[in-house]
Structure 1
Amino acid sequence: MTFSQNHESTRSALVTGASSGIGQATVRALREQGWKVFAVARRADRLNALAEESGAIALAADVSVQSDVDALVVSVAEQGGVDTLVNCAGGARGSDYWAEAKDEDWEFMWQSNVMGTMRLTRALLPSLRTTGGTILNVTSTAALASYEGGSGYNAAKSAQRAMSQALRLEEVENGIRVIEILPGLVQTEEFALRRLGSKEAAENVYAGVAEPLTAEDVAEVIRYAVSAPAHVNLDEIVIRPQAQAANHKLIRKG
């Protein structure tokens, strides 16, 4: 099912984490539907390539840095503002058990997943209230069930989930929709590699799984959720590959 609204002239979004993975795929999906899209990430070269390809507006910024957020919000306002915020920026780092936890890994995950989402959302809330806007946070099924070696990521994504739930309660009277997307196993070019640090370890994450989710799969769900009529709020959506019935139940063949 596709909602047939006129997005060409009325809808605009800011998408973080747009230099790769789900964020990048979301920029493409929204642009294909006619949205005006601000693509935000730290890597300007990748953003510029995406902008040239898709027609998005590239804005290089690190959402974990307050001065970057301040400058970003000013730039977006000068270019017409947005009615939708898609918080895709985040990521995991390390798979150590708690006993061997590294402060720098936990700091990265907290800043990128939690504080970045908080800072940018806080900064855009005043303008989103005037439009009755939409905020969509990409969390993870790691927020639903913890696992060995995942305590730092479990903690960050659980916090992001709790934030989404509180924000929905706080902003409902202002006409703002708050949507949470919780992906399971998604195979992207960088997520597992950045987390585990080696190509072999990253490939093992998906070994034997016939069809893991792709970034495009998740982006299509995001596109659908934010394109729904304003009175429809898809509070939370869990999306997994068919081979993954739960975090701990994943079918591998071969």
Structure 2
Amino acid sequence: RPENPEEPGGQSFRATSRQTPHQPHPAPLGAGTSVPTPTTLRTRMVETNLLGSMYAVHTALPHLLKSKGTVLQVSSTSGRIASAGGAVYAATKFGVNAFSEALRQEVTAQGVRVVIVEPGFVSTELADHISDPASRAAAQQMAASMRTLQPEDIANAVVYALTQPEHVAVNEILIRPTDQTR
């Protein structure tokens, strides 16, 4: 790690800025538990989900201010409702939401819009990559119990937010499968 990993070009920034922004719920169950989760997994989750988002905005903001662009953050329903077994994940998503709202207040007068998309359960292959077998099975069972969102559903929400007239700011989009209860 460089002396200051918070600066663009720092090792932490480079690692987290390559994350695909449309990857909600990278490890929705088990990976965010507050007690038994290894410190390295918790640290990686904070670096990826929260700090990576902040570093990317820090890098892009000068360009967005010049062009009066839009900051788009992908959070999660876990950024509104924490669940047992997902403490760290929820904390990172609550952090993304808080950071985004504060940023919105700071840059809105300069013509920059800030959008947070908070998807519920989305049908992706990510649940298959959860390393803990019990957590992976729980995520797969949850997906099988409902009509999940499709990636296209999230894309449509993003297009909606980004194509509004200049005087309209869609700041938050909470989008869940109809069958999702939390």
Structure 2 length-normalised TM: 0.81
- Secondary structure of 1:182's aligned partner: strand
Residue 39 of structure 2, aligned match among 92, 103, 107: 103
Query: Which residue pairs with 2:3 in the alignment?
Result: none
Residue 206 of structure 1, aligned match among 133, 143, 154: 143
Query: Which residue pairs with 1:193 in the alignment?
Result: 128
**C-alpha distance in 2, partners of 1:212/1:94?**
16
Structure showing the higher strand proportion among its residues:
1
Aligned pairs, how many? 169
- Alignment map for 1:137-216 (pairs within 5 Å): 137-190=73-126, 192-198=127-133, 200-209=137-146, 211-216=147-152
**CA deviation vs aligned residue, 1:162-191 (integer Å, no higher than 9, x gap):** 00100000111211000011111112112x
CA separation of 1:118 and 1:179: change in aligned 2, threshold 3 A: same
**C-alpha distance in 1, partners of 2:172/2:114?**
9
**C-alpha distance in 2, partners of 1:63/1:116?**
11
- Paired residues of 2:28 and 2:86 also in contact (CA < 8 A): no
Deviation, structure 1 residue 197: 4.3
**C-alpha distance in 2, partners of 1:66/1:153?**
19
- Paired residues of 1:93 and 1:109 also in contact (CA < 8 A): no
Say which one has the larger Rg. Answer: 1
- Alignment map for 1:44-83 (pairs within 5 Å): 65-67=12-14
**C-alpha distance in 1, partners of 2:11/2:97?**
18
Deviation, structure 1 residue 92: 3.0
2:154 partner amino acid: V
CA separation of 1:64 and 1:208: change in aligned 2, threshold 3 A: farther
Query: Which residue pairs with 1:119 in the alignment?
Result: 55
**Structure 1 residues not aligned, in runs of 5+:** 1-61, 73-85, 248-254
Deviation, structure 1 residue 98: 2.2
Deviation, structure 1 residue 108: 1.5
**C-alpha distance in 1, partners of 2:10/2:124?**
21
**C-alpha distance in 2, partners of 1:227/1:109?**
31
Deviation, structure 1 residue 143: 1.0
Deviation, structure 1 residue 66: 3.0
Structure 1 length-normalised TM: 0.60
1:233 aligns with 2:169: yes
**C-alpha distance in 2, partners of 1:63/1:154?**
25
**C-alpha distance in 2, partners of 1:215/1:99?**
32
2:46 partner amino acid: W
Provide the alpha-carbon RMSD of the alignment.
2.7
**C-alpha distance in 2, partners of 1:139/1:129?**
22
Identity of aligned residues (%): 31
**C-alpha distance in 2, partners of 1:100/1:229?**
47
- Secondary structure of 1:148's aligned partner: coil
**C-alpha distance in 1, partners of 2:11/2:75?**
16
**Structure 2 residues not aligned, in runs of 5+:** 1-8
- Paired residues of 1:129 and 1:175 also in contact (CA < 8 A): yes
- Secondary structure of 1:178's aligned partner: strand
